[in-house]
Amino acid sequence: MLHELIHYYQDMSGYYPDMASMGRDKDTRVTSKGFANLEFETMLIDNIRTGIPDNYLNQLKESKLLPVAELAKIRDEYNDFLKSFKDSQGKLRDIAQMDKPKLLSDYSKFLDLYATKSKDYRSEIFADMEPKALLDLLKYINEHCKN
């Protein structure tokens, strides 16, 4: 349900013009440009929340498009990426204090892998589409949630 609520927020935020066209045809399973952008951002938000990278890594593993050694390297790098969102006590970092160019660079790297190597979410991406819902939600949480 959280996954679909994040999609609802992506849609209602107005950050993604023409979001309705960035989907997958339920019958042919053909994806449209931008599908991976939306799905990766949604999955990343949940991965940050749980600290568990399994759904991202399983998509790459199940596609069988990457060698085992490369998957192990990606696993380690993605785990480090997830950890970068939290401090040593496990609390979300202030997004304003994070290195935004590095965050966006890492985001783009993992999005590109997701868009080209995942089992179910491959699609052409909008390379210049920032993860605005992610950034906005993290900012809101930091400003309004003190736990």
Q: Mean pLDDT across the chain, nearest whole number?
A: 90
In whole angstroms, give the CA distance from residue 135 to residue 33: 21
**Among 6-10, 28-32, 127-131, 135-139, whose mean pLDDT is lowest?**
28-32
Q: Average pLDDT in the 98-116 region? A: 96
- Write down the pLDDT at residue 27: 66
CB 20 within 8 A of CB 26: no
The helix/strand/coil state of 24 is strand
Q: In which band, very low, low, confident or very high, does the pLDDT at 92 lie, cut at 50, 70 and 90?
A: very high
Condensed to tens digits (0 to 9), the pLDDT of residues 38-74 reads 999 999 999 999 999 999 999 999 999 999 999 999 9
Domain boundaries of the chain, sorted by first residue? 2-144
Give this prediction's pTM: 0.90
Listing DSSP states for 61-125 in one string gives HHHT-S-HHHHHHHHHHHHHHHHTTB-TTSPBPPGGGS-HHHHHHHHHHHHHHHHHH-SS-----
